[in-house]
Amino acid sequence: MKGLWKYFDHFPAIRGLDVELELGRFLTVFGPNGAGKTTLIRVLSTQIQPSQGEVEVGGCVLPGQAYRLRRHVGVISHNTYLYPNLTARENLTFFGRMYRVPDLGDRIKTLLEEVGLSGRRDDLVRTYSRGMQQRLSIARALLHDPDIMFLDEPYTGLDQHASRMLRDVLKTLHTGERTLVMTTHNIEQGLEMCDEVAIQVRGRLVFRENVGAIDRAGFEQTYFDHVGKDFRWDS
């Protein structure tokens, strides 16, 4: 993306971002609340249109080719996108049909086993705990085996078991063939598997480096140096 701006009314949530990420890489974007991380994910995943600038994801120019890109994109967000009055199986069947997933029954069975929910596949999602819903949302995002994954604060609200499961899923996804972009404000979880890190503050990327080139132990200090301990939007 080049010169990306996104306004909400007159407020610029993203201010002239320039980012290039090679296919198969895993980028983690850190930033405080209100830095524009979620907006960035929503623009890249075609949920909202950029106000200004050039955005190309997976060879598709946005917003014109958003329709073509959606087939290749999976999103895991702190919102689960799951219908509470449908069962786990009904939710996955619905999304699977929308994505025209072949051999849907088998795919659903496999994914439910992977996320540890096959025993509760016929229970309504509204009866699930937050962690179980997030695990099911991981299965939903992986249904169509996307090439590009966007993860927006995926660890939010997860218990230890679900966090470990998400880490395991991310490990299996990060094969070098799939591109992953994750936003988080948790430094430890964010650094765990990524290839590159970035820090976003007030809608701008203020830091970008290969993970091999940074001092992991001292990254928290790097983060605060860039964000500022007394971070304020009006400063």
Residue 100 sits in the site that holds another protein (CB under 8 A): yes
Residue 86 sits in the site that holds another protein (CB under 8 A): yes
Position of tokens 């880490």? 167
Residue 5 sits in the site that holds another protein (CB under 8 A): no
Stretch in the footprint of another protein (CB under 8 A) among 77-85, 166-174, 196-204, 206-214: 77-85
60-62 and 11-17 beta bridge pairing = unpaired
Q: Contacting another protein (CB under 8 A), which of 79, 156, 163, 186? A: 79
Residue 75 sits in the site that holds another protein (CB under 8 A): yes
Which residues lie across from 150 on neighbouring strands? 75, 181
The CA distance from 130 to 80, in Å, is 9
Using alpha carbons, select from 20, 27, 23, 21 the residue that is nearest to residue 195.
Answer: 27
Residue 38 sits in the site that holds another protein (CB under 8 A): no
Cis peptide before 63 (omega within 30 of 0): yes
Helix ranges (DSSP H) in the chain? 37-44, 66-70, 88-98, 104-114, 130-142, 160-173, 187-191, 219-227
Residue 102 sits in the site that holds another protein (CB under 8 A): no
Residue 45 sits in the site that holds another protein (CB under 8 A): yes
> For residues 82 and 125, is the Cβ–Cβ distance under 8 A?
yes
Residue 147 sits in the site that holds another protein (CB under 8 A): no
Q: Contacting another protein (CB under 8 A), which of 94, 114, 121, 216? A: 94
Residue number, 86 or 191, with CB nearest to another protein: 86
The CA distance from 31 to 183, in Å, is 8
Site string for another protein, 14-33 (x = CB under 8 A): --------------------
Interface residues toward another protein, by CB under 8 A = 42, 45-49, 67-68, 70-71, 73, 75, 77, 79-86, 90, 94-95, 97-100, 124, 133, 140
